[in-house]
Structure 1
Amino acid sequence: MKTFFRVVLGLVPQLFIIQSYATECTKLVAYGNPEYPPYLWRSGKNPDSLVGANVAYLNEIDNEIKTSIKVRYGGTWARVQEEARYGRVDLIAGAFATEERKKFLYYLEPAIANTRTLIWVDEKDPLHYTKWSDLQGLRGITVINNSFGQKFDAYAKSHLKISTVASLRQAFEMLRKGRVRFLIYEEWPARAFVQRYRITGVKSLEPAIAEEPLYLVMAKKSPCATAEMRERLVSAHQKVMKKNPMPNLLKENAELWDQNAN
């Protein structure tokens, strides 16, 4: 009898853990890059949450799976990725695919959008850019833990001098002050920042350094990352994608960002 009670008592903590996981999975929490308009940005009215095209897209998935998805502000983009690495958040509302990230993230197919990454320079800079090697020997800047695709990331690590800062606004400020020769960032978010904050004296260069698909992803260590939940998410995601809502969502949220962002 004593042995029986010891076994039962030993199971109690596990039962509480299972119950806790089940409770948590009645809702999912997503973080994202807070400097990524019109896809994502920090709400001016509610600083604890994010708004943008990706939030609107997740709301449609929410309606399909009947499980609440809350998109919250989780700190800088670097901090968001660390939270996902250790399973302290369920979803990231938009990320490129890299081999390193695949170690701790499940990628939900298909991609929600394709993004272009551009080089930004001082508008008076005579830099003639047509290929990656044209950037060798020049000092560049981007945001911490940003990726621009596996191929360019590998090339940049071996051949380019690119520093990182915590925010896109800080990166643009360094470019304008002449502390760096070029800035690398995705086209839509960078243009949104330039327009909204009236950043003058800069220009983007063609061709794009990379064109990469943007995915919804789930943290592998999230208590909710079960096969059943992933299957529900993918099924809902594919159903929503058939409606092709992202072009309209991006247009609507670009206007919203310009009107209401801080």
Structure 2
Amino acid sequence: MLISHSIWAQECTTISMTGNPEFPPVTWNQKDGTLTGAYVEYASTVMKELGVKPEIEPSGNWARAQLRVKRGEVDLLLAPYYNKHRALWLHFIHPSVSLDPAVVFVKKGNQFRYRQFADLKAKKGVLQRGYSLGVQFDEYAKKNLSIVWVNSWDSAFQMLMMKRVDYLPHSYYAGLLQVKKLGLENDVETLEPPILEDKMYLAISIKSPCVSIIKRLSTVVERLKTDQVHGRINGNVYKNLQQREPTYMRSFVWTRIEPVFGSVICGRVPI
């Protein structure tokens, strides 16, 4: 075992990373298909501190990104929330690095009183397939809530606009950018308080040779968190995204009619 561990340590000079292509400012795909975002920049900063070369790999969608890491095809998953199912195939690097609290988005005019998870019981929600809001919400939702799952956030917001669902839980900054991209600033609002203060992580596949650097990774993550490096990176990325909105908007076009649960709605897809 010691010999194997030593070999793994020598092999981990490069680490492949992937994440959600529809989660700005945390992670998202640019027009040319490359994955970028605050967590990409943050993870790259961490790896450079360790002398490990980061290789960023786009994966098509969030469910596919998770599957590739689960299979060991990619070493590291960017910004997943912790849940017990993911813990079966991921080593979560502690401490967590929080960038974006989760809130409830609703269509303007369809607001309702929200103070706790139980207030969602009589409502229908929508989420991107493969998306997790952490153990507490996930387990409550599985037992108590009516959730529609779709392949993209664009489809989710369109369902919200069509009143096919009542609410959409999403990370605050990522949701605001999605709303702006879709031109829904005057049609959508958020409820208070947040569903949860997010706890995102860097997480390594249990099948990756880079499990050997977990302890060193945690040390660097803790130090950078104390120095508030992640907050500065997130703020800069979000600010740049707002300034470059036309470029970001042009990376998506209305080109596909996407069937969702028996109906047809328009969806934006990357080109």
Q: Which category of TM-score, normalised to the shorter sequence, fits these structures?
A: 0.7 to 0.9
Please state how far the C-alpha of 1:33 moved relative to its aligned partner: 1.2
Q: TM-score, normalised by structure 1?
A: 0.84
Kindly provide the CA deviation profile for residues 218-241 of structure 1, in whole angstroms up to 9, marking residues without a partner as x. 111113323xx2233223333333
Give the corresponding residue for 1:32: 19
Kindly provide the CA deviation profile for residues 152-172 of structure 1, in whole angstroms up to 9, marking residues without a partner as x. 111111111001111111100
Letter in 2 for 1:148: L
Partner SS for 1:62: helix
RMSD over equivalenced CA pairs, Å: 2.2
Q: Does 1:43 align with 2:27?
A: no
- Contact 2:15 2:52 (8 Å CA) reproduced: yes
Q: Does 1:207 align with 2:193?
A: yes
Query: What stretches of structure 1 of length at least 5 have no aligned partner?
Result: 1-17
- Contact 1:87 1:223 (8 Å CA) reproduced: no
| CA distance in structure 1 between the partners assigned to 2:111 and 2:91 by the alignment | 43
| CA distance in structure 1 between the partners assigned to 2:196 and 2:142 by the alignment | 15
Q: TM-score, normalised by structure 2?
A: 0.82
Please state how far the C-alpha of 1:128 moved relative to its aligned partner: 2.3
| CA distance in structure 2 between the partners assigned to 1:34 and 1:210 by the alignment | 22
| CA distance in structure 2 between the partners assigned to 1:22 and 1:242 by the alignment | 26
- Contact 1:109 1:215 (8 Å CA) reproduced: yes
Identity %: 28
Kindly provide the CA deviation profile for residues 11-58 of structure 1, in whole angstroms up to 9, marking residues without a partner as x. xxxxxxx9x9788633111001111111111122x31x2111111112
| CA distance in structure 2 between the partners assigned to 1:247 and 1:238 by the alignment | 13
Letter in 2 for 1:160: L
- Contact 2:107 2:160 (8 Å CA) reproduced: yes
Change (3 A) 1:198 1:220: same
Partner SS for 2:49: helix
Please state how far the C-alpha of 1:250 moved relative to its aligned partner: 1.2
| CA distance in structure 2 between the partners assigned to 1:129 and 1:63 by the alignment | 43
Q: Does 1:97 align with 2:82?
A: yes
| CA distance in structure 2 between the partners assigned to 1:114 and 1:42 by the alignment | 18
| CA distance in structure 1 between the partners assigned to 2:116 and 2:222 by the alignment | 36
| CA distance in structure 2 between the partners assigned to 1:57 and 1:244 by the alignment | 11
Give the corresponding residue for 2:262: none
Partner SS for 1:54: helix
Partner SS for 1:140: strand
Q: Does 1:131 align with 2:116?
A: yes
| CA distance in structure 2 between the partners assigned to 1:43 and 1:24 by the alignment | 30
Give the corresponding residue for 2:228: 244
| CA distance in structure 2 between the partners assigned to 1:25 and 1:81 by the alignment | 20
| CA distance in structure 2 between the partners assigned to 1:194 and 1:126 by the alignment | 17
Letter in 2 for 1:199: L
Kindly provide the CA deviation profile for residues 42-97 of structure 1, in whole angstroms up to 9, marking residues without a partner as x. 122x31x2111111112212321111112221121111111111111100111111
Kindly provide the CA deviation profile for residues 114-164 of structure 1, in whole angstroms up to 9, marking residues without a partner as x. 532111111011422222222223221011121112121111111110011
Give the corresponding residue for 1:5: none
Q: Superposed, which structure 2 residues align to 1:38-187 within 5 Å?
A: 38-44=25-31, 46-47=32-33, 49-113=34-98, 115-187=100-172
Change (3 A) 1:129 1:241: closer
Which piece of structure 1 moves more, 243-252 or 102-111?
A: 243-252
Aligned length: 241
Larger Cα-atom Rg = 1
| CA distance in structure 1 between the partners assigned to 2:51 and 2:191 by the alignment | 44
Kindly provide the CA deviation profile for residues 173-214 of structure 1, in whole angstroms up to 9, marking residues without a partner as x. 111111111111111110121123322411111111222311
